[in-house]
């Protein structure tokens, strides 16, 4: 029996190594997976099968659902006429073209963008807008958690459905694992159409568990949209354990860009909601100008041929001339982002990184810290917020462009999660976001390179080990 197990182990390990060698996307990532496979017998191969296989390249492991998503998106967007936006800056034009060519989403002007920089303010704005819905409410979140906000949402839905408003909800099966069948049935009983975007089923779990839908989207009557980093959780309105209140950045969008955001929801809903196709004029009203801000929606995921979120971040970093401000709770950069930040800092661009002092996972924390010494050495200034759990995913450059959304600076957001960011071409909003960033940095602890180098050896060992497992994060 032992011989059979040993032979089986050798076969599956060799198979994993062959696929890694033939289809590995990057040498550094491939090497990390090589160590995981060798160091952890059986478990390493299982982890690689679940989280490491490059499904974009290996046909056998491709998700049929992903291929159908691509075909659906192409069918419904091939006749869209790109809006005419005249940019005053060549930098604007370059990044807008990059996003348009890698995602199919175009920049649109005539929008009003409202920045929502704390949980209470965000949810008051959301519930006020939901209360005014007349035709439909479409909601998508990574996390739905039981609590005050969930109960408030249920009561509002109950009222709006009696008024004849259509309500559709999609959620992620892993992020909303605690939601439970009880709550789902409760929503369905009052008439809410609620589905999981990537349900966990025994027959397909090997192919789906690693691909999570991390998007946060609300669209009301096709006129008002909300998106950013906030989830439906009481963590944003009251302290949660040792992490305290979660601090996040969210946006309210009004104007033509709402259609771009809605297209992202409609595609996800089509594949979650038993094929109900919402690509109809009644769900896409023509919105006139609400302001003068140009905005572009950046949707990324395994259904794309390109790492759109990483491309967006890398292009912003490389185009910066004066400063780069990044706030992110899970800063585990790809080699592209890491080298871009170092080059920017070494060339004289002021680069600041804001992260939470406390993390919701030790592996994430030590993996983040493993990059800090080389960033500090290159001149990047790093700040740790000691009071609140900073959950914002934001980058600002030169008081000109800013991005707020769900995409983290890690391999999961770049390659494996379905994400959505909002890129804003507006100096006043970029300055507003930078001022908020400055306030957070003034209340944060700045890391000193010499002191950081003196950290205990055990921390350095833990960081090195965490970095090996960073492809899982």
Q: Which positions are annotated as active-site residues? A: 214, 216, 221, 391, 393, 398
Secondary structure of residue 462 in the 3-state scheme = helix
The residue behind tokens 């199919």 is: 104
Residues linked to residue 247 through DSSP beta bridges, in sequence order: 390
Residue 322 CB neighbours (<10 A): 11
What separation in angstroms does the CA of 341 have from each of 59, 330, 334, 381, 452? Answer: 34, 16, 11, 11, 19
3 state SS for 39-92: HCCCHHHHHHHHHHCCCCCCHHHCCHHHHHHHHHHHHHHCCCCCCCCCCCCHHH
Phi, psi values for residue 380, rounded to 5°? -70, 135
What sign does the dihedral 121-126-127-128 (CA atoms) show?
positive
Supply 450's token pair: 């010499």
Please, what is the Cα angle at 324 between 318 and 327, to 5 degrees?
Answer: 120
Burial category of 366 from C-beta neighbours within 10 Å (exposed 0-12, middle 13-18, buried 19 and up)? buried
Contact 296, 108 (CB under 8 A): yes
Secondary structure of residue 316 in the 3-state scheme = helix
Which has the closest alpha carbon to 226: 258, 263, 270? 258
Residues linked to residue 389 through DSSP beta bridges, in sequence order: 246
What separation in angstroms does the CA of 375 have from each of 60, 312, 338, 353, 386? Answer: 39, 20, 8, 10, 20
């Amino acid at each position: 029996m032992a011989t059979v197990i040993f032979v089986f182990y050798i076969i599956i390990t060799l198979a994993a190594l062959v696929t890694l060698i033939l289809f590995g996307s990057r040498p550094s990532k491939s090497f990390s997976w090589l160590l995981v496979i060798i160091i952890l017998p059986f478990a390493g191969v299982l982890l690689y099968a679940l989280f490491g296989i490059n499904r974009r390249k290996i046909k056998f492991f491709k998700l049929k659902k992903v291929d159908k998503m691509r075909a659906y998106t192409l069918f419904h967007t091939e006749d869209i006429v790109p809006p005419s936006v005249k940019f005053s800056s060549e930098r604007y034009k370059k990044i807008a073209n990059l996003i348009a060519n890698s995602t199919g989403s175009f920049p649109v002007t005539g929008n009003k963008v409202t920045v929502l920089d704390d949980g209470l303010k965000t949810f008051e704005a959301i519930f006020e807008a939901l209360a005014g819905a007349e035709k439909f409410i479409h909601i998508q979140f990574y996390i739905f958690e039981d609590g005050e906000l969930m109960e408030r949402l249920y009561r509002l839905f109950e009222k709006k459905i009696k008024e004849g408003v259509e309500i559709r909800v999609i959620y992620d099966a892993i992020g909303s694992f605690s939601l439970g069948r009880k709550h789902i049935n409760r929503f369905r009983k009052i008439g809410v159409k609620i589905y999981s975007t990537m349900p966990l089923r025994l027959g397909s779990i090997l192919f789906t568990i690693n691909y999570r839908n991390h998007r946060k989207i609300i669209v009301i009557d096709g006129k008002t949209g909300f998106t950013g980093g906030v989830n439906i959780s009481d963590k944003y309105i009251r302290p949660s354990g040792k992490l305290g209140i979660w601090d996040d950045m969210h946006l309210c969008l009004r104007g033509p860009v709402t259609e771009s955001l809605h297209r992202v929801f409609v595609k996800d809903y089509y594949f979650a909601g038993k094929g109900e196709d919402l690509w109809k004029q009644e769900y896409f009203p023509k919105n006139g100008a609400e302001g003068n801000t140009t905005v572009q929606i950046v949707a990324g995921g395994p259904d794309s041929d390109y790492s759109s979120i990483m491309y967006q971040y890398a292009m912003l970093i490389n185009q910066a001339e004066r400063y780069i401000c990044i706030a992110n709770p899970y800063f585990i950069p790809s080699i592209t982002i890491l080298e871009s930040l170092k080059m920017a800092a070494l060339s004289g661009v002021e680069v600041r990184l804001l992260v939470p002092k406390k993390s919701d996972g030790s592996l994430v924390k030590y993996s983040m810290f493993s990059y800090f010494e080389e960033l500090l050495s290159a001149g990047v200034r790093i700040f740790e917020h000691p009071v609140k759990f900073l959950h914002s995913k934001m980058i600002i450059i030169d008081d000109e462009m800013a991005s707020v959304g769900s995409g983290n600076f890690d391999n999961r957001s770049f390659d494996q999660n379905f994400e959505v960011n909002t890129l804003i071409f507006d100096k006043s909003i970029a300055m507003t976001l930078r001022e908020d960033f400055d306030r957070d940095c003034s209340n944060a602890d700045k890391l000193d390179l010499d002191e950081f180098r003196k950290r205990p050896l055990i921390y350095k060992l833990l960081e090195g080990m965490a970095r090996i497992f960073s492809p899982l994060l």
